[in-house]
A and B are shown apart, each in its own frame.
Chain A
């Protein structure tokens, strides 16, 4: 981007500056630390100049928004045209409780729904399973059958909202229920919009809500990708997730590299189903965390977009530019929230949300300030949503596209994030791909090491966390009101489920489950049979039990 001679001139001037001007300043005001590093361990220099991006080629590395390699954003107008989707993750108690919260969020100006399921649902157990005791409706909404799903979306027209569902192992069952609700509302399948997280690979080393061993887990993810490519054109079948990788302790570079590698694995596996890359790649979506280091996060989002575009073009020979799009959802980082002085979390979330917006996200969830203590209350969720609205409407940052492009620091860091991620991708390629790497415990070890290092840095005060290891209030009383889930939820939910089991046509259920067993053993795509089974009101647990029989259960590889 710069003239060769100009760079030489700048280098000469910088060397002079380092000898004459800088030492006097350092003598008067020594630097606060010997070395400044970001979370990925990249050394941050005191000053960036054109020298740091002297090889940057504008058209090759940045280009124009809406054009390859999409570093500057997926859309030509970005937020000048349409703001990002403000999508708040919500769910607790019974389907009635969450339905009420959904309607509240929509009335407050939210533009898309995002469903949190409780742990029994996430693990594929019905609410009356022994493992579900004490967990029903606690961390999300309990959904055991189509009956619950009908209540969850009662009065919400599925052709007018898009719904994201954080569900992985049982994703096909929940998607089948959503399709069934849509059918009942008379919404055609072409119109159903939303996302299933459905990223089973990251479960093995990040979120760890694994049900089946790696290979059948990957198969189930790909079933949904294939089914959607053929029947649900507006559905995002998968949200390839770095968020959990980061929350488990990974650095930004690890988050970037491992997520993109999972993406590679899904594309490779889907191609084996006889689809062409341009048949499905445009519907793949991504999900990242936004952590505390502002510029590192912005660089990560920009690098992620560019790297994915290159992978799709060069590795998979995609032709349609949309196949090269990395559409992303971002959530501010839950693990940065502190239980101490919880109102400070509003500020942390604001900085992280701003990084996501400057990084060009398509959709954003902002955490509530009380989430290190409990599920958020209506008040705390409102503040979190207002944070996004203030960024969108008051700060002015949404008025121009990719405003940080060309910053010596941001561009240099974007390059460095990409290079370091590529090194990991190469390493995983050499290991034979994602499943061998999981089986060797590679990701698990990398992440556990980073998590431990991060904690050490906090304890050694190499990393300051306000309110935790500095600026502590001794004997602090938590001044906020906590949300408690009503203990009657479990009872109510179990009663409804047992009533359903008595009243449904149990012969139809049995037939549907037998058909599912047969289809699973044959290795066919399970989506059509699962849709039939949920429509017969077979429960989530019953469907998952059939699959547990066929695929076996995953046994955790323990690495500390």
Chain B
């Protein structure tokens, strides 16, 4: 499987948990699956503010950010994260999301630059393939 970018660097992924909810089972399973697929994975831990997440993305020089949220606060927190990423010039980072996100919010989230939203029951294999295909080439 192709898990390196052209420069030979492994794909670096930040799995982040914004919001106050503590449902980290999905985030951890995805983090582990991406790691097992040969990527470098950093997991932020729970209850990160948008500022903390963007700072971590910058510090860790990641190619991909996966946001996991199950609290229902995604329409407040995701736009803020996307705004901060833009401010910091991290516009080429691939951002995807997962959790309990109603279908009707998905199109709104895509408009602000979240490239994909994976709902409950998504196989990790699908997420791995998606990241491999869409991570920015550096």
Query: Which residues of chain A have a CB within 8 Å of any CB of chain B?
Result: 119-120, 122-123, 125, 131-135, 138-139, 207-209, 247-249, 335, 338-340, 372-374, 448, 451-452, 455, 458-459, 465, 468-469, 478, 482, 484-485, 556, 558, 560
Q: A478-B103, A558-B43 are in contact. Are A338 and B32 (CB under 8 A)?
A: no
Q: Are A374 and B102 in contact (CB under 8 A)?
A: yes
A339 touches B120 (CB 8 A): yes
CA A133 to CA B75, docked complex, whole Å: 11
The chain B residue with its CB closest to the CB of A448 is: B28
**Residue pair A248, B73 in contact (C-beta under 8 Å):** no
Structural contact, B73 and A133, CB atoms closer than 8 A: yes
Select from chain A the residue with minimum beta-carbon distance to B21: A119
Shortest distance in angstroms between B89's beta carbon and chain A's nearest beta carbon?
Answer: 25
Chain A contacts of B49 at CB under 8 A? Answer: 131
> Which residues of chain B are near A207, meaning CB under 8 Å?
22
Contact A451 B29 (CB under 8 A): yes
Among all A-B residue pairs, the 8 with the closest Cβ atoms? A134-B76, A134-B73, A119-B20, A208-B22, A138-B72, A339-B120, A468-B121, A556-B45
Residues of B near A468 (CB, < 8 A) are 121
Q: Please, how many angstroms separate the alpha-carbon atoms of A125 and B102 in the complex?
A: 26
Also in contact, A340 and B121, with CB within 8 A (given A131-B20, A208-B24): yes
- Contact (Cβ within 8 A) B119 A339: yes
Return chain A residues, CB-CB under 8 Å to B10: none
Q: Is B19 an interface residue (CB 8 A)?
A: yes
Minimum CB distance partner of B20 in chain A: A119
B11 interface hit (Cβ, 8 Å): no
CB distance from A158 to the nearest CB of B (A): 29
Minimum Cβ distance to chain B for residue A139 (Å)? 6
Q: How far is the CA of A373 from the CA of B119 in the complex (A)?
A: 9
Known A-B contacts A133-B73, A558-B45, A560-B41; A338 and B121 likewise in contact (beta carbons under 8 Å)? yes
B41 to chain A: closest residue by CB: A560
- Residues from chain A with Cβ under 8 Å of B75 in the complex: 134
B71's contact among A138, A338, A482, by CB below 8 Å, is which?
A138
| Interface pairs (26), CB distance under 8 Å | A119-B19, A119-B73, A123-B20, A134-B75, A135-B71, A135-B72, A135-B73, A138-B72, A139-B71, A139-B72, A208-B22, A248-B24, A248-B25, A338-B121, A339-B120, A372-B100, A374-B100, A374-B102, A459-B124, A469-B123, A478-B103, A485-B72, A556-B46, A560-B31, A560-B32, A560-B41
A48 to B47, CA, bound (A): 48
The yes or no answer to B77 lying at the interface (CB within 8 A) is yes
A247, B73: Cβ atoms closer than 8 Å: no
Q: Does B125 interact with chain A (Cβ within 8 Å)?
A: yes
A523 to B12, CA, bound (A): 46
Q: How far is the CA of A209 from the CA of B102 in the complex (A)?
A: 24
Known: A119-B19, A338-B120, A560-B43. A247 touches B72 (CB 8 A): no
**B76 closest partner in A (C-beta):** A134
Interface-centre pick from B71, B120, B121, B125 (highest chain A CB count, 10 A) = B121
Q: How many B residues touch A, CB cutoff 8 Å?
A: 33
Cross-chain contact A373 with B102 (CB below 8 angstroms): yes
Pick the contact of B77: A134, A374, A558 (CB < 8 A). Answer: A134
- Return the contact of B25 from the options A138, A335, A465 (Cβ within 8 A): A335
What's the minimum C-beta distance from A189 to chain B, rounded to whole angstroms?
32
Closest Cβ of chain A to B33, distance in Å, is 8
Q: Can you name the residue of chain B whose Cβ is closest to the Cβ of A371?
A: B100
Is A209 touching B22 in the complex (CB atoms < 8 A)?
yes
Query: Could you tell me the distance in whole angstroms from the C-beta of A341 to the nearest C-beta in chain B?
Result: 10
Q: Which of these, B29, B46, B73, B123, contacts A208 with CB under 8 Å?
A: B46
* Residues B72-114 near A (CB distance < 8 A): 72-73, 75-77, 100, 102-103
Interface string of B31-72 (1 = CB under 8 A from A): 111010000010101110100000000000000000000011
Q: How far is the CB of B74 from chain A (nearest CB, A)?
A: 8
The CA of A446 and the CA of B123, in the complex, are separated in Å by 22
Query: Contacts A119-B20, A123-B20, A208-B46: A249 and B73 contacting too (C-beta < 8 A)?
Result: no
Contacts of A448 in B (CB 8 A): 28, 32
Residues of B within 8 A of A138 (CB): 71-73
* Known A338-B120, A459-B124; contact A249-B25, beta-carbon cutoff 8 A: yes
By a CB distance below 8 angstroms, the chain A residues around B46 are 208, 556
Q: A465 vs B121: C-alpha distance in the bound complex, in angstroms?
A: 9
Contacting A373 at CB < 8 Å: which of B21, B100, B124, B125? B100
The complex places the Cα of A483 from the Cα of B63 at a distance, in Å, of 36
Q: For residue B121, which residues in chain A have a CB less than 8 angstroms away from its CB?
A: 338-340, 372, 465, 468
A451 touches B100 (CB 8 A): no
Min distance, Cβ A271 to any Cβ of chain B, angstroms: 30
Alpha-carbon distance A208/B24, docked complex (angstroms):
9
Once A131-B47, A339-B120 are accepted as A-B contacts, the answer to whether A459 and B125 lie under 8 Å apart by CB is: yes
**Minimal beta-carbon separation of B16 from chain A (angstroms):** 12
Q: Which residues of A contact B124 (CB under 8 A)?
A: 455, 459
Residues of B within 8 A of A133 (CB): 73, 76-77
> Chain B residue with minimal CB distance to A559?
B28
B residues less than 8 Å from A374 (CB atoms): 72, 100, 102
Contacts of A469 in B (CB 8 A): 123
Q: With the chains together, A135 CA to B18 CA distance in Å?
A: 11
Which of B28, B72, B120 is close to A560, meaning CB atoms less than 8 Å apart? B28
Closest A residue to B24 using CB positions: A208
